């Protein structure tokens, strides 16, 4: 099986080398990640190639920027303040839709590839994400302090990885990078976008999908919790009480 995969990838790369003009093709070593009880994270290889664009990449240098974006979900960021000797939540900001996972990898630092305006046009980089906040009376632009706090918190959880991974440009228009998914990665559909830049301008782009989903017992528990939250809560309480009772019985023996 491993030999067949190796032969398949080699054939794919040979096909990529012969791409026609304006073509950009990418693929993933795995397009579906299954989360089971032993899941501790995953690492996926993204590889691809680009034919000649308006400037021939086989004759001139080019840069690759890859953006991986996970499923959107409502997110609340809270700011704590000290009241006397106690820290309490004082302010909060709700983002109706924020990516659960976001990573940017590039062949060089972004500031060396193009100016910020070029990246803003395509939403590349956390500062260029079209985030809005819910004020309770309507949508508004989020406060920069809360926006930065969201990035900081998700980065600490390993869910936001901006310029932490490098794209390796091999030769003849071939490139690759590793996509790191932590153990707490959200489930859902991911979008993997690849951009080709030359002389500060975007020349070509490509998009493919990645699915992360729970399987086995984890899938059943997830469906039960989201489909029947009341019964799930009752079951969790019963299990906790039973475990406590059993621990007490064993402790007396």
In this prediction, residue 161 carries a pLDDT of 93
Query: What's the CA gap between 32 and 181, in Å, rounded?
Result: 12
Residue 58 has a pLDDT of: 56
* Range 197-215 average pLDDT: 88
Confidence check: pLDDT of 94 > 60: yes
pLDDT of 181 reads 93
pLDDT(8) > 50: no
Which segment of 45-59, 95-109, 148-162, 201-215 scores lowest on mean pLDDT? 45-59
Answer yes or no: is pLDDT of 50 > 70. Answer: yes
**pLDDT category, 12, cuts 50, 70, 90?**
very low
As a whole number of angstroms, the distance between CA 30 and CA 10 comes to 16
What kind of fold does domain 2-214 have according to CATH? Immunoglobulin-like (2.60.40)
Rounded Cα distance, 124 and 197, in Å: 12
Of the candidates 146, 167, 150, the one whose C-alpha atom is nearest the C-alpha of residue 102 is 150
pLDDT at 140: 87
Q: Calculate what percentage of the chain has a pLDDT beyond 70.
A: 70
Which residue's structure tokens are 């997110």? Answer: 75
Q: What are phi and psi of 18, to 5 degrees?
A: -95, 25
Residue 244 pairs in a beta bridge with: none
Q: What is the pLDDT of residue 102?
A: 96
Structural contact between residues 25 and 46, judged by C-beta atoms closer than 8 angstroms: no
Q: Is the pLDDT of residue 130 over 80?
A: yes
> Could you tell me the residue ranges of all domains in the chain?
2-214, 216-253
The 3-state secondary structure of the chain, one letter per residue? CHHHHHHHHHHHHHHHHCCCCCCEEEEECCCEEEECCCCCCEEEEEEEEECCCCCCCCCCCCEEEEEEECCEEEEEEEEEEEECCEEEEEEEEEEEEEECCEEEEECCCHHHHCCHHHHHHCCCCHHHCCCCEECCCCEECCCHHHHHHHHHHHHHCCCEEEEEEECEECCCCEEEEEEEECCCCCCEEEEEEEEEEECCEEEEEEEEEEEEEECCHHHHHHHHHHHCHHHHHHHHHHHHHHHHHHHHHHHHC
> What local confidence, expressed as pLDDT, does residue 240 receive?
72
Residue predicted with more confidence, 195 or 78:
195
Query: Does 206 have pLDDT greater than 60?
Result: yes
What mean pLDDT is predicted for residues 42-62? 75
Is residue 218 predicted with pLDDT exceeding 60? no
pLDDT tens-digit map of 227-247: 666 655 676 677 677 676 666
More confident of the two residues 227 and 104:
104
Nearest to 159 by CA among 95, 100, 76, 96: 100
Is the Cβ–Cβ distance between 26 and 208 less than 8 Å? yes
């Amino acid at each position: 099986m491993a030999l067949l995969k190796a032969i398949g990838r080699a054939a794919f790369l040979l096909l990529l080398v012969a791409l026609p003009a304006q073509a950009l093709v990418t693929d993933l070593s795995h397009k579906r990640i299954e989360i089971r009880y032993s899941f501790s994270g995953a690492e996926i290889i993204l590889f691809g190639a680009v034919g000649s664009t308006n400037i021939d990449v086989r004759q001139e240098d080019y840069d690759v920027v890859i953006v991986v974006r996970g499923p959107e979900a409502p997110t609340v960021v809270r700011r704590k303040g000290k009241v006397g000797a106690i820290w309490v939540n004082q302010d909060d900001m709700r983002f109706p839709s924020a990516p659960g996972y976001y990573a940017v990898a590039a062949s060089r630092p972004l500031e060396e590839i193009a100016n910020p305006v070029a990246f803003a046009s395509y939403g590349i980089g956390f500062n260029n994400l079209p985030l809005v906040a819910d004020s309770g009376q309507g949508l508004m632009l989020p406060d920069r302090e809360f926006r930065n706090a969201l990035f900081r918190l998700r980065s600490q959880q390993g869910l936001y990885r901006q310029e932490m991974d490098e794209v390796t440009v091999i030769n003849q228009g071939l490139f690759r990078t590793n996509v790191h998914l932590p153990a707490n990665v959200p489930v859902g559909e991911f979008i993997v976008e690849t951009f080709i830049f030359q002389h500060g301008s975007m020349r070509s782009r490509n998009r493919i999908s990645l699915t992360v989903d729970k399987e086995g017992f984890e899938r059943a528990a997830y469906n039960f919790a989201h489909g029947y939250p009341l019964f799930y809560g009752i079951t969790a309480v019963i299990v906790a009480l039973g475990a406590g009772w059993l621990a007490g019985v064993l402790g007396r023996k």
